[in-house]
């Protein structure tokens, strides 16, 4: 099992390296360290979001509302900054994360306390959260000139040659990795997804674990909300529309099984990086950016087919003949 | 997904009669909600109770409802298809392309339907042939199909559809009854009969309730599921013809986000997202409710995004309320 997991991530590393090599063959400057660092920086937000989605998917749930949560938290962060330009950035970040966490808690509470299927809950909150942005702003945009310089420059600030945005994603990756592998909560995520009934008998509250997974995904979406808005220096109703599918795609490519219980932090990071490399490479090798959507669609299908084949060898098939039909 | 019910299920000594069950059913609740919304709308706006206005209102839901019927069957069988809106986009793009090649209306219809069917076959093969989870496969094909239309169209649009083609989305069969509404009624009857009165329909329920048991009772699970995805593709192709004809142009962003509205419609109609239960009359009522809410809000100048908040709240509350109600009743009984 552990060997298989390692294989999958190695496979993904290999795929990314092949991809980068192919791009470098068409456009050598792509592999300069400065450019690769830029690609990583550009993918940072997706990585942070994929970590949250991973926790949710591990518990056999799904969070379709992450992008809407990001947009709402980002908008509130921008509005805070526009209203009180003197407010220190850490407070803005913390309030965006807190709002994100609350929105995640709403999802989690509906799944936990009312036992509503996660896909229905987050489908509903997806439209509600995005609608709330409209109610909050009446459809108005918050543009660059309304934001303070500190607000916009924070993710760009250089720290040892690398922007704060990249550092933040690294910190998040390490933190979530430690949570997943070193804390009871992290193990509970896997246990709940692997076998919810067995988890109950080992003393894990399935609903509560799912609730915490949603809190985590919400908090990370809130953080990403601030990062997104300050990076692109604009906030409006439709920012990151449809991005929820990119997040899920990153997880699926990273080998996180939609049926729960299987996945890893490196997988999520690599899945996000794979999409990030494709997105950044298309313009430089003269493929129309319009092709990006079709390519990521193909990649998702191939990734899920490859992952499913890897899982099938795991066994647990009692009636092989019947399953084969 | 959430399947950890540990509370014991109580089986009553005497099953309720047919009439009592009908009264307590989801569909009667929906009917009451529909009537309330209808009354509310007619009180709120003097323009609501006009046959032509009501006829216009049907365009809000007919295209989505066509897909919702097939989607209901897919969801009852325990799967989901999130690629329907992208199939609309691809079929519409193909029809627009065919127009550039000088095809006429009958050929356009064939193109639209066959692209839909082809997309359904792709989904069906990946899901039943390779045994992949439908939610991920259709998220993938959702990107793929719309991505293909983006590759073909970029930021351009196809226009110049022949005049005779506009009948599907703008024509009337008789008096205020549009072609789309007539099609909606006919399809509702067909799907109702197929789901509730045929062996195929029984098979769909059986698969949704217990796939392994269905397999052992001689149901060709793979074939039934394949047919369902094929049907959904075909319906998306049909909806694409109607929508393209109504709008008279094709952009790659056509019908963006419809998959969520279609799923909402199906779930609102009382189809369990976990599979195994649901009815076509429920879906019809849900379609009417969503159409009337959208139209009524439109008459009151409520912006579209506020309507979507309402639909989202409706989706969650409509599922949460019966659960809370059951819980409250159980607490009273103890």
- In this prediction the ipTM stands at 0.81
Using CA atoms, how far residue A104 sits from A49, A120, B332, in Å, is 13, 14, 32
CA dihedral B126, B127, B131, B137 (to 10 degrees): 80
Q: By residue range, what is the domain housing residue B68? A: 56-154+161-328
Domain assignment present for B25: no
Strand runs labelled E in chain A: 158-159, 162-163
Output the pLDDT for position A319: 47
H or E segment to which residue B149 belongs: helix B134-153
A98, exposed or middle or buried, with CB in 10 Å at 0-12, 13-18, 19+? middle
**Closest to A294 (Cβ–Cβ): which among B147, B222, B303?**
B147
What's chain A's Rg over C-alpha atoms?
A: 20
Output the pLDDT for position A325: 38
Q: Is A256 on the interface with B (CB under 8 A)?
A: no
Domain assignment present for B144: yes
Interacting residues of B198 by C-beta distance below 8 A, sequence separation 6+: none
Note the maximum CA span of chain B.
72
Residues of chain B with pLDDT under 50: 1-6
**A215, A185 Cβ separation under 8 angstroms:** no
Q: Is B221 on the interface with A (CB under 8 A)?
A: yes
Q: Which two tokens stand for residue B308?
A: 């979507």
Contact A294 B320 (CB under 8 A): no
H or E segment to which residue B172 belongs: strand B172-174
Domain assignment present for B218: yes
Output the pLDDT for position A5: 52
Output the pLDDT for position B176: 85
- CATH assignment of the domain containing B92: 1.10.3470
Residues in chain A within 8 Å Cβ distance of B132: 304-305, 308
Domain map of chain A by residue range? 2-14+32-311
**Closest to A258 (Cβ–Cβ): which among B133, B147, B323?**
B133
How far is it, in rounded angstroms, from Cα A149 to Cα A166?
19
The CATH code belonging to domain A2-14+32-311 is 1.10.3470
Q: How many domains does chain B have?
A: 1
CA dihedral A34, A36, A37, A43 (to 10 degrees): 150
Q: Is A194 on the interface with B (CB under 8 A)?
A: no
Output the pLDDT for position A53: 96
pTM: 0.84
Higher pLDDT, B124 or A11: B124
**Closest to B305 (Cβ–Cβ): which among A116, A131, A252?**
A131
Q: Which two tokens stand for residue A217?
A: 């995904």
Output the pLDDT for position A304: 84
Q: What is the DSSP letter of A160?
A: T
Domain assignment present for B27: no
Contact A308 B130 (CB under 8 A): yes
Q: Is A306 on the interface with B (CB under 8 A)?
A: no
The pLDDT-based confidence of A213 (bands split at 50, 70, 90) is very high
Q: Is A283 on the interface with B (CB under 8 A)?
A: no
Minimal CA separation from B331 to chain A, in Å: 15
User: By percentage, how much of chain A surpasses pLDDT 70?
Assistant: 93
A301: pLDDT strictly greater than 70 = yes
Residues in chain B within 8 Å Cβ distance of A293: 143-144, 146-147, 150
What value does the mean pLDDT of chain A take? 88
Query: Which of A238, A297, A308, A310 to mutate against chain B (most B CBs within 10 Å)?
Result: A297
């Amino acid at each position: 099992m552990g060997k298989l997991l390692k294989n999958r991530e190695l496979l993904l590393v290999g795929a990314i390296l092949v991809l980068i090599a192919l791009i470098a063959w068409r456009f050598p400057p792509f592999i300069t360290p400065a450019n690769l660092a830029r690609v990583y920086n550009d993918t940072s937000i997706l990585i942070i979001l994929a970590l949250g989605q991973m926790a949710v998917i591990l518990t056999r749930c799904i969070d379709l509302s992450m992008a809407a949560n990001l947009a709402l938290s980002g908008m509130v962060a921008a509005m805070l900054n526009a209203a009180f330009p003197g407010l220190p950035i850490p407070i803005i970040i913390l309030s965006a994360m807190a709002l994100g966490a609350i929105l995640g808690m709403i999802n989690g509470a509906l799944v936990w306390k009312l036992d509503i299927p996660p896909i229905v809950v987050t489908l509903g909150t997806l439209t509600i959260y995005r609608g709330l942005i409209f109610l909050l702003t009446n459809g108005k945009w918050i543009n660059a000139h309304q934001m303070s310089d500190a607000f916009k420059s924070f993710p760009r600030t250089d720290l040892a040659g690398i922007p704060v945005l990249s550092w933040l994603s690294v910190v998040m990756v390490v933190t979530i990795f430690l949570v997943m592998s070193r804390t009871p909560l992290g193990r509970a995520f896997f246990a709940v997804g692997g076998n919810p009934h067995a988890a109950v008998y080992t003393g894990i509250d399935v609903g509560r674990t799912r609730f915490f997974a949603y809190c985590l995904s919400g908090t990370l979406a809130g953080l990403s909300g601030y990062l997104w808005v300050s990076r692109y220096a604009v906030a409006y109703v439709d920012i990151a529309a449809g991005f929820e599918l990119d997040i899920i795609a990153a997880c699926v490519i990273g080998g996180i099984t939609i049926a729960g219980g299987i996945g890893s932090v490196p997988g999520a990071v690599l899945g996000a990086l794979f999409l990030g490399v494709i997105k950044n490479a298309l313009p430089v090798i003269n493929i129309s950016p319009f092709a990006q959507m079709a390519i990521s669609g193909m990649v998702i299908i191939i990734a899920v087919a490859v992952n499913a084949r890897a899982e099938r060898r795991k066994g647990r098939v009692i009636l092989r003949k019947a399953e084969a039909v | 997904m959430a399947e950890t019910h540990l509370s014991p299920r109580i089986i009553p000594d005497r099953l309720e009669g047919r009439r009592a069950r009908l009264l307590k059913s989801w569909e009667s609740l929906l009917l009451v909600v529909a009537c309330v919304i209808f009354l509310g709308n007619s009180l709120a706006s003097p323009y609501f109770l006009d046959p032509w206005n009501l006829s216009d209102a049907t365009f809000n839901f007919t295209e989505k409802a066509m897909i919702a019927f097939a989607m209901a069957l897919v969801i009852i069988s325990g799967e989901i298809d999130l690629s329907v809106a992208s199939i609309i986009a691809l079929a519409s793009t193909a029809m627009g392309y065919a127009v550039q090649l000088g095809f006429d209306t009958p050929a356009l219809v064939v193109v639209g339907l066959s692209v839909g069917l082809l997309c359904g076959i792709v989904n069906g093969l990946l899901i039943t042939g390779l045994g992949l989870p439908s939610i991920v496969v259709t998220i993938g094909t959702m990107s793929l199909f719309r991505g293909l239309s983006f590759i073909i169209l970029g930021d351009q649009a196809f226009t110049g559809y022949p005049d005779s083609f506009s009948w599907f989305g703008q024509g009337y069969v008789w008096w205020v009854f549009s072609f789309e509404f007539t099609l909606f009624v006919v399809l509702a009857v067909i799907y109702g009969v197929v789901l509730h009165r045929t062996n195929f329909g029984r098979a769909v329920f059986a698969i949704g309730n217990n796939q392994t048991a269905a397999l052992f009772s001689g149901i060709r699970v793979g074939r039934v599921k394949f047919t369902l995805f094929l049907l959904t593709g075909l319906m998306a192709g049909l909806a694409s013809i109607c929508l393209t004809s109504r709008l008279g142009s094709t952009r790659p962003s056509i019908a963006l986000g419809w998959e969520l509205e279609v799923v909402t419609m199906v779930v609102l109609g009382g189809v369990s997202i976990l599979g195994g239960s649901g009815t076509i009359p429920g879906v019809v009522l849900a379609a009417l409710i969503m159409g009337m809410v959208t139209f009524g809000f439109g008459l009151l100048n409520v912006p579209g995004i506020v309507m979507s908040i309402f639909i989202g709240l409706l989706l969650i509350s409509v599922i949460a309320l019966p659960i809370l109600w059951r819980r409250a009743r159980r607490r009273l009984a103890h």
